[in-house]
Amino acid sequence: MPENLRVLRRKREIVGEIRQITRAMKLVSAAKLKRAMTWRTAAQDYYTEVEAALSVVAAYAGEIEHPYFDEDRPVQRIGLLLVAGDKGLCGAFNSQIIGRAREFARTAEARVVTVTVGGRTAEMARRARLSVVREFPAINERERGGDVQEIARQVMGMYERGDVDRVTCCYSRFLSRISNQPDVQQVLPAPPPEPLEEMNAPIFEPDALELARAMLPQYIEARIFQLLLSTAVSEHSARLMAMTAATENAEEMTDDLTRDINRARQAAITNELLDIAAGADAMGQKA
């Protein structure tokens, strides 16, 4: 077998193995995306209900004096909750989020300290010269909210102690299965509840003001959970698109290599026939 033909066949085998891997990862990403979207929808519904309930309570609680609503607080230090992907193989997903966080830190009017969430986020944030004060490891079961309370309590504790005067979150906003966008959203101080239309006065137990103060931490946790899920869904979507593109490229390379193998084999056969014909002519001339 000619050396060139042997090399081409080996390349086709390698590309075929890569195609099997990327196709399997594509199927896994599709399953994870479907599950994450289900949890994201449930989290959005929960956040909507908590926000609506807080609006009802706040409407009868009067003016709520709480640090979470203190928009006039002087800003000397900003806490940035940076949420990126847990793993690679998702294209430019992580680098886009880190780039958006770096841009925010560069244009902020105060010093920015960063709390990272994700397997590779802390390392990438340090490379981008962001000041990392706390890092949370990869959340394998992020969709179930196993570590959301710990993250939310860390962020709210920093704000309550005065370590930061504002908390923002840099995350990936999920737009569709084929589109996501890095974004920065303010978490604390939280926007006040929207005013409600007139309704029959409900009975609160405990009183409306105390109930509103008790609901605020749950409201902030629900917002953070929603941002985490948005990033998780975007990550699975980005990885699905990356693995789909890789599988299609592998298939195209396999087709190209198959054509090259056929051409090389035909060229080898032609050369052998030419050698036979030349040998026959030489023998006929000697005879």
The domain locations on the chain are 3-24+246-286, 25-242
- Classify domain 3-24+246-286 by CATH number: 1.10.287
Amino acid of residue 174? F
What single letter denotes the amino acid at residue 247? T
Helix and strand numbers (H, E) in the chain are 5, 5
For residue 111, what pLDDT is reported?
A: 92
- Strand ranges (DSSP E) for the chain? 77-83, 111-117, 131-136, 166-176, 179-188
Q: Which structure tokens are listed for 205?
A: 């137990």
Q: Name the CA radius of gyration of the chain, rounded.
A: 30
Name the phi and psi angles at 240, rounded to 5. Answer: -60, -45
3-24+246-286 with 25-242: one CATH topology?
Answer: no
Cα–Cα distance, 168 to 155 (Å, whole number): 10
- In the prediction, which pLDDT does 171 show? 92
The one-character DSSP state at 76 is: S
pLDDT at 1: 47
For every residue of 186-233, DSSP letters joined together read EEESPPPPPP----PPPP-SS-HHHHHHHHHHHHHHHHHHHHHHHHHH
Structure-token pair, residue 209: 């003001």
Distances (CA, A) of 166 to 43, 62, 184: 24, 24, 13
Q: In what order do the strands lie in the sheet with 179-188?
A: 131-136, 111-117, 77-83, 166-176, 179-188
- Give the model confidence (pLDDT) of 27-75 as tens digits: 998 998 888 888 888 888 888 888 888 888 877 777 777 778 878 888 8
The Cα–Cα gap between 216 and 50 comes to 9
Which CA distances in Å does 37 have to 32, 178, 246?
9, 13, 23
User: What's the topology of domain 25-242?
Assistant: Pyruvate Kinase; Chain: A, domain 1 (3.40.1380)
Could you tell me the pTM of the whole model? 0.81
pLDDT on residue 207 = 79
| Ranges of the chain whose pLDDT falls below 70 | 1-3, 138-146, 195-201, 280-282, 284-287
* Beta partners for residue 115, in sequence order: 81, 134
What was the pLDDT predicted at 184?
Answer: 93
Q: Are 120 and 86 in contact (CB under 8 A)?
A: yes
pLDDT for 146 equals 58
